[in-house]
Structure 1
Amino acid sequence: MKDTRERLSHITLSLHWLIAFFILGLMSLGVYMTETSSYDLYPTHKSLGIFIFFFIVIRALWRWKNGWPQPVAQHKSWEEALAKLVHWVLILGTLAFPISGMLLSIGGGHGLQLFGLDLMSANLVDGQRQTLNPDLASIAGEVHESLLPIMLAAILLHVAGALKHHIIDKNNTLKRMLGFKNQ
């Protein structure tokens, strides 16, 4: 395994920040849509979710191939365990969000569209959308909705950990994630 204490690869940094930006944006958009019944935004939400899923899969494969970055400094065992748990929740959650959303759409008979391009046609009977698999749609909907508080908690812990490293521990963890070479 490569020693990543000094600097992370451009691929690692790019995938991290791209996915972070999209996941936070899609979570915000999802909350807005459900709170305001803004049904006209659902195609955009779904398309962005399908689009970012491609990068999420690449990131998961990249992480599997390259392992987790080595910590910049030594930490207490409970901190390392919590960091590992949070990282696993984030990587699995970023996979589960779009998968559950796509299964919800498919099971609900909506099909899958990527910015207007049919990846899977809606289930139409006599011109009316028909639920394809109500159980699949229900389970996927529950998973998709349940992920929000879990991911929010993991993101808050992740950010708090980064800030702790930077402000309290005064190590280069945050600088490394921002692409700066450690000094």
Structure 2
Amino acid sequence: MIRNQLLWKNSPQQYGLLSKLLHWLSALTVIVLFASGYWMVDLDYSSQWYQLVPHWHESVGILLLGFTLFRLVWRRFAGSPSDIETHTAIEKKASTSMIFILYVTLFTVLVSGFLITSANEKAIAVFDWFNVTPIVLTIKNQEDISGLVHYYVAYAMITFALLHALAALKHHFIDKDNTLKRMTKT
């Protein structure tokens, strides 16, 4: 029984199963959303995908927002593994800063996307499972401003995520420490 609890919850040495699932599912979802967003802006009205892809993109984005809020609560509850002793002070600070930046950019992209969709003042149907009430701000051109934020911050977030992945690979292949293994090893 104790062993099962340790597998689900983070330990001082590595992330637990739930943290790993949340991390990798978030990463995959962000990549899919970025790719679908990149693709759908070039769809024209005659395309069979013109209505469907934005609906999926919005629905998955709303689900990811709720999922990310849960992930933050779980992170607070489960804690994080201890820093690896071989990491320098700069690496530790960079890691903490990168995680913060990734969460800020993720929330910014998700909220700005929600504000784009909300601008038409219609409820957002999430896969026709439930509706989310739109938020219309008193900002003139809410859709355009939110769209610019969404676009540029999405590219920034993908860039930071790539740097995050490269740092993990550097730790694995060059430093040969357990940084990457803590998020992949079962």
TM-score range, shorter chain: 0.7 to 0.9
One of 10, 16, 23 as aligned partner of 1:16: 23
Q: 2:14, 2:81 within 8 Å by CA — same for their partners in 1?
A: no
SS at match of 2:141: helix
Q: 2:15, 2:80 within 8 Å by CA — same for their partners in 1?
A: no
Moved more, 168-177 or 75-84: 75-84
Change (3 A) 1:28 1:150: same
Cα deviation code 1:144-179 (max 9, x no counterpart): 111122111111110111001100110111111113
How far 1:76 moved relative to its partner? 2.3
Partner residue in 2 for 1:50: 62
How far 1:111 moved relative to its partner? 3.1
Change (3 A) 1:43 1:76: same
Partner residue in 1 for 2:125: 113
One of 58, 67, 70 as aligned partner of 2:82: 70
Partner residue in 2 for 1:166: 172
Percent identity at matched positions?
29
Distance 1:87 1:20 in 2: 13
Could you tell me which runs of 5 or more consecutive residues in structure 2 were left unpaired when the two chains were aligned. 1-8
How far 1:67 moved relative to its partner? 4.3
How far 1:94 moved relative to its partner? 2.1
What code does the residue aligned with 2:164 have? Answer: H
Aligned residue-pair number: 171
What code does the residue aligned with 1:11 have? Answer: L
Distance 2:10 2:29 in 1: 28
What code does the residue aligned with 2:119 have? Answer: G
One of 44, 50, 59 as aligned partner of 1:39: 50
SS at match of 2:180: helix
Aligned runs of 1:63-142 on 2, under 5 Å?
63-117=75-129, 119-120=131-132, 134-142=140-148
SS at match of 1:88: helix
Distance 2:74 2:89 in 1: 26
Q: 1:5, 1:72 within 8 Å by CA — same for their partners in 2?
A: no
How far 1:117 moved relative to its partner? 4.2
SS at match of 1:6: coil
Q: Say which structure, 1 or 2, has more relative contact order (CA 8 Å, 6+ apart).
A: 1
What code does the residue aligned with 1:21 have? Answer: L
Partner residue in 2 for 1:7: 14
Cα deviation code 1:103-122 (max 9, x no counterpart): 11111334311112451478
What code does the residue aligned with 1:164 have? Answer: K
Aligned-pair Cα RMSD in Å: 2.5
TM-score normalised by structure 2 residue count: 0.80
Partner residue in 2 for 1:28: 35
Q: 1:6, 1:176 within 8 Å by CA — same for their partners in 2?
A: yes
Change (3 A) 1:64 1:137: farther
Could you tell me which runs of 5 or more consecutive residues in structure 1 were left unpaired when the two chains were aligned. 123-131
Q: 1:112, 1:119 within 8 Å by CA — same for their partners in 2?
A: yes
Moved more, 135-144 or 24-33: 135-144
